[in-house]
A and B are shown apart, each in its own frame.
Chain A
Amino acid sequence: MKTTGKITGIVSNLVTISVSGPVIQNEICYILYNGLRILSEVIRIDNERVYAQVFESTRGIQTGTEVEFTGKMLEVQLGPGMLAKVYDGLQSDLYAMESLFITRGMSSPALDYTKKWKFKPLCKVGDEVSAGEWLGEVQENWISHKIMVPFRFKEKLIIKSIVNEGSYNLEDIIAVVKNNEGQEFPLTMVFSWPVKRPVRVHKEKIRPFKILETGVRVIDIFNPMMEGGTGFIPGPFGCGKTVLQHTISKHADADLIIVVACGERANEVVELFTEFPNLDDPRTGRKMMERTIIICNTSNMPVAAREASVYTGMTIAEYYRAMGLKVLILADSTSRWAQALREMSNRMEELPGPDAYPMDLSAIVANFYARAGFTWLKNNKSGSVTFIGTVSPAGGNFKEPVTEATRKVARAFYALSQSRADSKRYPAIDPIESYSKYLEYDEVKQELNTIFDIQWTTKVSRLMNILIRGKDIKDQIGILGDDGVPVDYHEVFWKSEVIDFVLLQQDSFDKVDASTPLIRQKYMVDLLLSVCEKNYDFDHFEKVSEFFKKIINTLKQLNYSVYQEKDFISHEANLNLLISERTKNS
């Protein structure tokens, strides 16, 4: 018999419940109010008193209102048909809700149970299978969506029967498996999984070693992200976190992108689903939306569902990873999720940690980031989940709990700088502050030197040295004045400006410049080294800026031109002309 309970207290979206029977931590329960079933989750059990966070407004709920427990934790439905969907934090299909407003108790199925899918079996009767192994496949947009043994099975199973190739509904039985006690389980194309439990159906998880191309030069060249890696983007408001994530979502070389809009502006999500259905994806020849799933809990949607939204996104990512896909999940902003935890913790009057965040914030963040990774599946194919989250530090100060907790676990750090943003140097990633720990891995160095060229890592550090020296010199000029430093200091400074304007800065809103493929990045690195490692012998500092402004202008035009086409080649020629005229004079 299911446990039931009665409300004994309410403050905001936290309720206390006295219960009649057993309750599980994180169990889902429904508050039965006015004919509505209001979704809630148990977050603490204190003897008879159960605390639950309510995923919707609690308005009107009274002491004595009945509660029904489900025996289940918060789950998502996993099966074909999730691509191109826009879900709320609890996996309700937002397009399936027709009204203008989302009123209480409203939800919609995550998947379309009437649609037929062309199923093709990938194994046969008598085969031994276990959780996550592929029973068959269906075509979902451009992805070969694997129908897998549900993740909940711990034991080995034998296929007793499996259907022939044909069209089936999600809930048609496509196979029957049995365990070694002879117990039989009919399987369909859909199953559920609790979002807060990591999926572990792979054979092993290894250190990330393959570069994940983002098309953003300052990332790919200076602090690359790896397939299966983790990264975070902290920055004050207005520094470009969201624009950067949107750019990555459009251009990253992944099979599937999951965008979690976590407690941020609704208009930013509107931008995605207005643009993506019309945007061509060069990788697939289809529309961008077809490789995207959006999970959307905007800042005015219920706070508790904010926490759920990142877990929902991650679970869906892990599901597709188990099919051997390269999944990228982006969350904007993870701080909102941490704040949702803080709100609940405060309402439960728990002992607060720094800045009133819960004491175990670091552990929660660490567990979440640990779910990303590069995996070898049981069939020796690979699959990966790469996770990049933004962080919105209070007052723009990186010394705050969420930034610090994230810094401990995320391997790549993309620091957005207020001063770069103020001077409109976008993307405002500070190349010197930022880091990618992956660059310390031998296997990564090897990989980079293979795909670019044998000198790659040294070339990048040569550019970095110019940037660092340029920064120092800028400070000196600020103190001593233009006249106060030698002319060749000006030259180094302006070379660093060339690298800044041409490599670091990138126009997210330009069709060509928005994304630079690796091959073009390699070309640019070589080109810039050749420009910046020449000596130009100026006699006056005003000549230095005059010359390099022209160089920058020409190279910017080059950035805006299609690689190796007419305009590009003519700008390249202009550049060479500028340089040879200058070196002839000196």
Chain B
Amino acid sequence: MKPLIRSKAFQKTYSKIENITRATCEVRADNVGIEELCYVHGRPAQVVKINGNKITLQVFQGTDGLSTESEIIFTGKPPFLTVGEELKGRYLDAYGHPIDGGPEIDGEEVEIGGPSLNPVRRSQPSEVIYTGLPGIDLNNTIVTGQKIPFFADPDQPYNMIMAQVALEAKSDIIILGGIGLSNDDYLYFKNLFDNSGSQERIISFINTTEDPPVERLLIPDMCLTAAEHFAVKQNAKVLVLLSDMTLYADALSIVSNRMDQIPSKDSMPGSLYSDLARIYEKAVQLPDGGSITLIAVTTLSGGDITHAIPDNTGYITEGQLFLKRDTEVSKIIVDPFRSLSRLRQLVISKKTRADHSQVMNACIRLYADAAYAHTKKENGFDLTQYDTRCLNFAADYSREILAVDISSDMNQILDTAWKLLAKYYSREETAIKKEFVDKYWP
């Protein structure tokens, strides 16, 4: 057993459990506060419902093997994270305790899930985060303080892409929240981080598929509590990675079902929107330069984005990044049609090269023409010469710009785009403003 109970101030002990479900148990107790942290036979739990002196506890590790005679200790305070410099470079569990064999963190105890920021104290995000992936930087430019998920099928290499993006992006601190991460992916992250030369700026909170699912509910709050600490106190640029938020939502539904709440769409709790928003809205650009940027993964089932989890996520986040397999070139690409970064217009051609916006739009328009030509081809209609050029352009564009296996800086990406445009089209066909054509046409 890990040394979970460190606080000396714990007070009340009880030992008569009346009811046990898979994720919750009930006990009679007085002077207990809602959301209070407690321990049931050493297992961390939280008060989720109070009815008179009947207290419902959500036991994060599950109730497997719990006896009705188990000792329950109430701590008199909500779950917290110990924050401080020592967090840097560490791997922790869902409760903020080290899993890397190192010493416990020493620092300040901060309640998780704290108050929300006054919206008028926010600044408008305006700084580009370059990810090195042309499919993101050109078409879906990400900005500090933004929150954006990858919508990916479970078989796509989203964790690898996210890790690559994280190491490329210029941030002061990276916080990884592993929510039901497969052990293999955890080891992948760990190996990559430990050999990146950046380990001193990385903090990881890890729950793997081997850990209890309800524990996952704590991971995003732990990550964001740490992120807020560094962004507010040290004006740090923090990048938070959460993978996989679909498993977070699944954990929510487990608990709400145990509490007999009426499920709404797709067996998700009616509060799913608020529950997810509470997490994602922690992304922020602060006036003093600190920021929290949140890149998440939401895995889809069968590509269905109307399912309650991606649907609610899409309503909350500032766009989404779709991964897709382009069978023409046999590569995973960032889908330029369904992906969207809502904050990109704050920086495109303002913080990036002036031709960025025009080049981006021209390429996407021509790529759409290619998609149309592709349908024509599939339906057996004749292709015009223009259609053929579009199809060839699209293949090159996929391979050299959209594919996730390339890395390039912004100006290089723009130059590549110009090269492709010139290879297949006339100046007029691109409909790009004359001043840019004159300057950049190869």
> Are A and B associated in one complex?
yes
A338 to chain B, nearest CB (A): 11
Nearest opposing residue in chain B for A62, CB measure: B33
A273 to chain B, nearest CB (A): 7
Q: Which of A21-29, A313-321, A393-401, A433-441 contacts B (4 or more CB under 8 A)?
A: A393-401
Q: Which of B109-117, B176-184, B208-216 contacts A (4 or more CB under 8 A)?
A: B109-117
A61 in contact (CB, < 8 A): yes
B428 to chain A, nearest CB (A): 10
B124 in contact (CB, < 8 A): yes
A491 in contact (CB, < 8 A): no
B196 to chain A, nearest CB (A): 30
Distance of A340 Cα from B278 Cα, bound (Å) = 14
Tell me which of A343, A347, A509 contacts B274 (CB under 8 A): A343
A99 in contact (CB, < 8 A): yes
Tell me which of B146, B262, B306, B342 contacts A356 (CB under 8 A): B262
Known: A8-B51, A265-B281, A483-B382. A303 touches B117 (CB 8 A): no
Q: Which of A469-517 contact B (CB under 8 A)?
A: 481-483, 509
**Across the interface, do B121 and A509 meet the contact criterion of CB distance under 8 Å?**
no
**Across the interface, do A63 and B316 meet the contact criterion of CB distance under 8 Å?**
no
Q: Mark B351-383, 1 if CB is under 8 A from A, else 0.
A: 000000000000010001000000010010110
B22 to chain A, nearest CB (A): 19
B412 in contact (CB, < 8 A): no
Tell me which of A236, A300, A509 contacts B277 (CB under 8 A): A300
Distance of A422 Cα from B379 Cα, bound (Å) = 22
Known: A9-B52, A103-B115, A104-B115. A94 touches B120 (CB 8 A): yes
Q: Mark B293-329, 1 if CB is under 8 A from A, else 0.
A: 0000000000000111001001110110000000000
Known: A9-B50, A483-B382. A101 touches B124 (CB 8 A): no
Distance of A254 Cα from B265 Cα, bound (Å) = 39
**Across the interface, do B50 and A237 meet the contact criterion of CB distance under 8 Å?**
no
Distance of A544 Cα from B416 Cα, bound (Å) = 33
Binding site secondary structure of chain B: loop
**Across the interface, do B316 and A10 meet the contact criterion of CB distance under 8 Å?**
no
Contacts of A94 in B (CB 8 A): 118-120
**Across the interface, do A267 and B35 meet the contact criterion of CB distance under 8 Å?**
no
Nearest opposing residue in chain A for B316, CB measure: A299
Q: Which of A10-64 contact B (CB under 8 A)?
A: 10-12, 16, 57-64
Nearest opposing residue in chain A for B77, CB measure: A60
**Across the interface, do B270 and A346 meet the contact criterion of CB distance under 8 Å?**
yes
B323 to chain A, nearest CB (A): 17
Q: Mark A193-215, 1 if CB is under 8 A from B, else 0.
A: 00000000000000000000000
Distance of A99 Cα from B31 Cα, bound (Å) = 31
Tell me which of A86, A100, A298 contacts B281 (CB under 8 A): A298
A539 in contact (CB, < 8 A): no
A3 to chain B, nearest CB (A): 21
Contacts of B50 in A (CB 8 A): 9-11, 62-63
Contacts of B343 in A (CB 8 A): 267
Distance of A443 Cα from B145 Cα, bound (Å) = 50
A351 to chain B, nearest CB (A): 9
Contacts of A343 in B (CB 8 A): 270-271, 274
A102 in contact (CB, < 8 A): yes
**Across the interface, do A9 and B318 meet the contact criterion of CB distance under 8 Å?**
no
Contacts of A104 in B (CB 8 A): 115
A352 in contact (CB, < 8 A): yes
**Across the interface, do B340 and A63 meet the contact criterion of CB distance under 8 Å?**
no
Known: A59-B33, A346-B261, A542-B384. A395 touches B49 (CB 8 A): no
**Across the interface, do B263 and A356 meet the contact criterion of CB distance under 8 Å?**
yes
Distance of A296 Cα from B132 Cα, bound (Å) = 36
Distance of A356 Cα from B319 Cα, bound (Å) = 28
Contacts of A392 in B (CB 8 A): 315
A269 in contact (CB, < 8 A): yes
B337 in contact (CB, < 8 A): yes
Contacts of B115 in A (CB 8 A): 57, 101-104
Contacts of B187 in A (CB 8 A): none
**Across the interface, do B30 and A422 meet the contact criterion of CB distance under 8 Å?**
no
A266 in contact (CB, < 8 A): yes
**Across the interface, do A336 and B273 meet the contact criterion of CB distance under 8 Å?**
yes
Distance of A483 Cα from B384 Cα, bound (Å) = 12
B89 in contact (CB, < 8 A): no
B36 in contact (CB, < 8 A): yes
Distance of A60 Cα from B113 Cα, bound (Å) = 13
B311 to chain A, nearest CB (A): 5
A47 to chain B, nearest CB (A): 15
Tell me which of B36, B52, B368, B381 contacts A482 (CB under 8 A): B381
**Across the interface, do A339 and B52 meet the contact criterion of CB distance under 8 Å?**
no
B34 in contact (CB, < 8 A): yes
**Across the interface, do B31 and A273 meet the contact criterion of CB distance under 8 Å?**
no
Distance of A325 Cα from B51 Cα, bound (Å) = 50
B32 in contact (CB, < 8 A): yes
A10 to chain B, nearest CB (A): 4
**Across the interface, do A269 and B116 meet the contact criterion of CB distance under 8 Å?**
no
Contacts of B30 in A (CB 8 A): 63-64
Q: Mark B264-275, 1 if CB is under 8 A from A, else 0.
A: 110000110110
B67 in contact (CB, < 8 A): no
A286 to chain B, nearest CB (A): 21
Tell me which of B120, B122, B232 contacts A267 (CB under 8 A): B122
Distance of A263 Cα from B382 Cα, bound (Å) = 50
Known: A11-B50, A60-B78. A101 touches B114 (CB 8 A): yes
A355 in contact (CB, < 8 A): yes
Distance of A361 Cα from B340 Cα, bound (Å) = 33
**Across the interface, do B31 and A265 meet the contact criterion of CB distance under 8 Å?**
no
Known: A102-B115, A102-B117. A62 touches B31 (CB 8 A): yes
B290 to chain A, nearest CB (A): 10
Contacts of A397 in B (CB 8 A): 306
A291 in contact (CB, < 8 A): no
B282 in contact (CB, < 8 A): yes
Known: A300-B281, A343-B271, A422-B337. A267 touches B52 (CB 8 A): no
B68 in contact (CB, < 8 A): no
Contacts of B277 in A (CB 8 A): 263, 299-300
A266 to chain B, nearest CB (A): 5
Most buried by A among B78, B114, B125, B270: B270
**Across the interface, do B53 and A356 meet the contact criterion of CB distance under 8 Å?**
no
Contacts of A273 in B (CB 8 A): 120
A9 to chain B, nearest CB (A): 4
B123 in contact (CB, < 8 A): yes
Most buried by A among B122, B282, B318: B122
B13 in contact (CB, < 8 A): no
**Across the interface, do A11 and B48 meet the contact criterion of CB distance under 8 Å?**
yes
**Across the interface, do B116 and A300 meet the contact criterion of CB distance under 8 Å?**
yes
Nearest opposing residue in chain A for B277, CB measure: A299
A359 to chain B, nearest CB (A): 13
Distance of A355 Cα from B270 Cα, bound (Å) = 9
Nearest opposing residue in chain B for A351, CB measure: B262
Contacts of B35 in A (CB 8 A): 58-60
Nearest opposing residue in chain A for B269, CB measure: A346
Q: Mark A76-91, 1 if CB is under 8 A from B, else 0.
A: 0000000000100000
B residues neighboring A (CB under 8 Å): 30-36, 48-53, 78, 111, 114-125, 145-146, 232, 259, 261-265, 270-271, 273-274, 277-278, 281-282, 284, 286, 306-308, 311, 314-316, 318-319, 337-338, 340, 342-343, 345, 364, 368, 376, 379, 381-382, 384, 431
User: Closest 10 interchain pairs by CB?
Assistant: A395-B306, A299-B277, A300-B281, A60-B33, A237-B314, A481-B381, A356-B264, A9-B51, A10-B34, A300-B116
Residue pairs across A and B with Cβ atoms less than 8 A apart, 12 shown, are A62-B50, A63-B32, A86-B120, A100-B286, A103-B115, A237-B311, A267-B318, A299-B274, A343-B274, A356-B264, A396-B306, A422-B338
A residues neighboring B (CB under 8 Å): 8-12, 16, 57-64, 86, 94-95, 97, 99-104, 236-238, 263, 265-267, 269-271, 273-274, 296, 298-301, 303, 336, 339, 342-343, 346-347, 349, 352, 355-356, 392, 394-397, 422-424, 481-483, 509, 542, 553
Given contacts A63-B50, A266-B117, A481-B376, 4 further A-B pairs with CB under 8 A are A266-B284, A300-B282, A336-B273, A394-B311
